[in-house]
Amino acid sequence: MRRLVARHDSLRTVILPSGRQRVLEHVPDYAVDHLDLRGRSPEDIAELHARTREELSHRVAPADRWPLFALRAHRLDEHRTRLFVSLDLLIADAHSVHVLTAELLTFYRDPQRELPPLGVTYRDYVLAAERARTSPQRARALEYWRAEAHRLPPAPELPQRVHPRSVDRPRFERLTTSFGPEVWGTLVRRAAAAGLTPSVVVCTAFCDVLRTFSGREGGFTLNLTTFNRERVHPDIDQVIGDFTTLTLLAVGPSLPRFRDRAQDLQRRLWERLEHRAVSGVEVLRMLREDPRRRHDSMMPVVFTSMLMPELMADGEEPVPWRGETVYAVSQTPQVLLDHQISERAGTLTCTWDYVVQVFPDGLVEAVFHAFDEQMRRLATDDDEWGTDTHVQYDA
């Protein structure tokens, strides 16, 4: 871990109260807190796991103090260790987590291994992004969004138990479902036949259930997380940092056929991505300046696609951890529901992280179940791609 801290400037970064990032030239040697639980009772081990998980899963570290990550280790026996990782996404996006774990495993397997030096740092990228703010591309994007911002429909209005502003300490919980190679492979092939990306198919199924449960037949705005690494250097894919940007996607009115809805969504998405030089955060600020739209300056329902190749250090093939993930959750300010998708070994995994205090009991579970059913129906029912696909769900 110390070698990773020395290699990646983002792991030595703090965020000053002004909002500026500062890379620390020197930091203390990082030490992984560890407990030796060999010989302890299963009840004691479970309690210590739960206590550590509770502490780290909702850890909000002061952004101006290093480090903005934490590792803990519980040694269970001679062969197994439970590793707990808490990482502030101010300093690393989803792809960066893949880079971090891949390099950590590389050093774990071979402590003397030397990786090729990186020819670019995250600081270099940030400075390049600042210079790009005067580009003609950004000027065109500003013109586009100044015309489009006021046309954005509101966010999906899922039923709420309390107003989000009344929740002082949001608690996120996670729902997970997976679609194996048979189901997911069928969906990928059907997407290709319809000229669609796999991400758009999943996003459209998500929009279908949001439309049903929020009652917004006329459309709504979805907040898309995109991983926007401009090709400033050949090594940029091996850099750890937060390269995410938000894209506000206006989802159109419902159309009779799933294929038509998906193609319409993809067309809208491509148009938005052509103007991604202006981020969704900036567009929300535009809305905030309009007294008529000030209540729309939050778009708290998010879709995050991580369908990307896992790029490994030194061009190696991906090497899985000798273990399995037993718990994970993410939490993001001003977000009520984040749908994240990823693929591994031909299986698609969909996770929903949501603020449990805001929604009525059982609501998110019902929407999630409806999404799961919609995905499986799309893989088995030809009519879903060619005829009326409206389905009535009862929450």
Domains and CATH numbers, the chain: 2-91 (3.30.559.10), 136-386 (3.30.559.30)
Closest C-alpha to 375, from 384, 362, 366: 384
User: Would the CA dihedral through 269, 273, 275, 276 be positive or negative?
Assistant: positive
Residue 219 φ/ψ region, left for φ over 0, alpha for ψ in the -120 to 50 degree band, beta for the rest:
left
pLDDT in tens, the chain (395 residues): 999 999 999 999 999 999 899 999 999 999 999 999 999 999 999 999 999 998 888 788 899 999 999 999 999 999 889 989 899 989 998 889 889 988 988 888 888 899 999 999 999 999 998 888 899 999 999 999 999 998 999 999 999 999 998 998 889 999 999 999 999 999 999 999 999 999 999 999 999 999 999 877 778 999 999 877 888 899 999 999 999 889 999 999 888 899 999 999 999 999 999 999 999 999 999 988 877 776 766 899 999 998 854 333 334 444 555 557 788 888 887 899 999 999 988 999 999 999 999 999 999 999 999 999 999 999 998 877 874 444 444 44
Strand 301-305 with 337-344, pairing:
parallel
Q: What is the pTM of this model?
A: 0.86
Res 332: pLDDT:
80
Cα gap 320→341, rounded to integer Å: 18
Res 105: pLDDT:
83
Q: 309: which residues sit within 8 A by CB, 6+ positions away?
A: none
302 and 223 Cβ atoms separated by less than 8 Å: yes
Structure tokens belonging to residue 8: 């990646």
Closest C-alpha to 52, from 37, 31, 68: 37
The helix (H) or strand (E) run that includes residue 231 is none
Res 392: pLDDT:
44
